[in-house]
Amino acid sequence: MEYDVIFVAGPQGCGKGTQGKKLADRLGFLFWGMGGTLRAIAKEDTPLAKKIAVIEDGTLLPDELIIEVLKERLPLHSHDHGIIFDGVPRRIGQAEFLLPFLRSQGWEKMATVFIDLPREESMKRLLLRAQHEARTDDTPEVIERRFKFYDEAIKPTEDYLRKETTFIEVDGRPSPDEIAAEINKALGI
């Protein structure tokens, strides 16, 4: 496989985290889940944690804060392995920072795996996840806000990734194992 950076993208509930983690395990890459990273930082006793603490109410953090996290934490990771990103970039400003930043750090070959999923299926999966994981950011009201944000901000960011990386689309409706097999095939693993 020729890529050293893979962005996993798609609508909420499509399985980005699940597929990103599986892919990272298969390839021996670092998995960078932005949501999990932010939740972990929020538990720390640092100035950065205080800025991030608002994530639990479903508020989306400004690009400047996401970029601060990336600048502070990303260089701490080894360049010996590739990296899989889930949950970033979510806005054009993040993408315009992150891709050149990664290139400047020696990560050059980038792909995006886009997992497509219809809105109705996405809502069902998110509400089910909320029941199983007791996540405070998966209420119907917050999910609707996130859908609106997705349409307004994330779709244009995906268009940017479509132009700037090798863009691979897979259907998010089959089983996780079938999706993983499709991703492997598309990436040549």
Residue 187 lies in a domain: no
Residue 75 lies in a domain: yes
Give the residue with greater pLDDT, 60 vs 88: 88
As a whole number, mean pLDDT of residues 102-129 equals: 92
In whole angstroms, what is the distance from residue 7 CA to residue 41 CA?
21
Domain that holds residue 164: 5-178
Residue 47 lies in a domain: yes
User: Is residue 69 within 8 Å of residue 38, measured between CB atoms?
Assistant: yes
In whole angstroms, what is the distance from residue 72 CA to residue 54 CA?
19
> Residues 23-69: pLDDT tens digits?
999 999 999 999 889 888 988 999 889 888 765 555 678 999 999 99
**Structural domains counted in the chain:** 1
Q: Tell me the C-alpha to C-alpha distance, in Å, between residue 40 and each of 7, 34, 64, 109.
A: 20, 10, 18, 28
Residue 188 lies in a domain: no
Residue 189 lies in a domain: no
Residue 186 lies in a domain: no
Half-sphere exposure in the Cβ direction for 85 (13 Å, CA): 22
* CATH number, domain with residue 47: 3.40.50.300
pLDDT at 74 over 90: no
Confidence of residue 106 (pLDDT cuts 50, 70, 90): confident
The pLDDT value given to residue 182? 97
Beta partners for 110? 5
> Residues 152-161: pLDDT tens digits?
888 999 999 9
Residue 66 lies in a domain: yes
The pLDDT value given to residue 142? 82
Q: What is the 3-state secondary structure (H, E, C) of 89-129?
A: CCCHHHHHHHHHHHHHCCCCCEEEEEEECCHHHHHHHHHHH
Q: Angle at the Cα of 123 (from 122 to 124), degrees rounded to 5?
A: 90
As a whole number, mean pLDDT of residues 18-24 equals: 96
Beta partners for 84? 6, 31
The pLDDT value given to residue 59? 65
